[in-house]
Amino acid sequence: MTKHYQVVGNPIAQSKSPFIHMAFAQQTQQHISYQRACPEVDGFLVEAQRFFASGGLGMNVTAPFKLDAYNFASQLTPRATLAGAVNTLAVQEEGSILGDNTDGYGLVTDITQQLGWPLRDKKLLVLGAGGAVRGVLQMLLEQRPAQLVLANRTLVKAEALASVFAPIGPVETVEFDALSGFAHGHFDLIINATSASLAGDLPPVPETLIAPATYCYDMTYGAQPTVFLRWVASLGVRVSADGLGMLVGQAAESFRLWHGVMPEVKPVMAALRQHLKA
């Protein structure tokens, strides 16, 4: 019997979720269909009701519908509640629909397991304070870094996130314009969680923060290194990565929620990387 899943977003044609989930299904011998859906920006509720009423069992949700999915779910995981957004919906045995957010899992497992970068007792700088950051702060803090600094163009937005996650761990906040006050090579890891790379721009980070030993991670990805990764490489950074591993990792956690089995991430990452370059 074929089980039905889909990803919902607007736009959605660029989504790699069908490629990833069909690869996971083949690997684990699951019989599934996995489609894309692109409702109008105010049409998520109708699409979600239609899909689950027709027997759909799980849905991935991307921009701009993560808050709509949060409101649609009949119950939420603790990490989805903290994130204030849902990227995975799953039908439970009794028929209720669980909302989860797997973005933090995808990021942290990519950094710690696939890349082998340590986070515990390290000094982290996270650039941006939007929804992407809210979805990953919990798991970053649970790694017990020595310091986590959240930098954003507007301080009030960063401070709001810091207050939400204060029960889990301390988050320092700073405006981009004040970053130059930090010492050279101050951070062990810099995570670019802004949307700048999508527009071919750089976040306003002073060069003095970038040292050859700094690990740099861009949550966006592409067939070629992002503008942020090219920039830090020009400054001598030896170790960096894009967000493709995060993408596959968060999908793997969604797959586990739906099917009760965790797929192997590495072969799917390699296949997706080749697919992007084709």
pLDDT digits over 14-54, tens only?
Answer: 999 999 999 999 999 999 999 999 999 999 999 999 999 99
pLDDT of residue 183: 67
**What mean pLDDT is reported for the chain?**
95
pLDDT of residue 181: 81
Annotated catalytic residue: which of 66, 122, 123, 277?
A: 66
Contacts 24+ apart (CB under 8 A), 241-245: 241/110, 241/111, 241/115, 241/216, 241/217, 242/217, 242/218, 243/107, 243/110, 243/217, 243/218, 243/219, 244/269, 244/272, 244/273, 244/276, 245/106, 245/110, 245/114, 245/115, 245/269
Segment 79-106, tens digit of pLDDT = 999 999 999 999 999 999 999 999 999 9
Q: For residue 68, what pLDDT band results from cuts at 50, 70 and 90?
A: very high
pLDDT of residue 199: 72
Segment 147-191, tens digit of pLDDT = 999 999 999 999 999 999 999 999 999 999 999 887 666 899 999
Q: How far apart are CA 76 and CA 97, in angstroms?
A: 9
Q: Which domains does the chain have, with CATH numbers?
A: 3-101+245-277 (3.40.50.10860), 118-238 (3.40.50.720)
Q: For residue 197, what pLDDT band results from cuts at 50, 70 and 90?
A: confident
Residues making up the binding site for shikimate: 15-17, 62, 87, 103, 221, 250
Q: What is the value of pTM for the model shown?
A: 0.95
Active-site annotation holds for 123: no
| pLDDT average, residue stretch 190-203 | 84
> Other CB atoms closer than 10 Å to residue 92's CB: what's the count?
10
pLDDT of residue 237: 96
Task: Give the CA angle between residues 88, 140, 18 to the nearest 5°.
Answer: 30
| pLDDT average, residue stretch 233-247 | 97
Q: For residue 252, what pLDDT band results from cuts at 50, 70 and 90?
A: very high
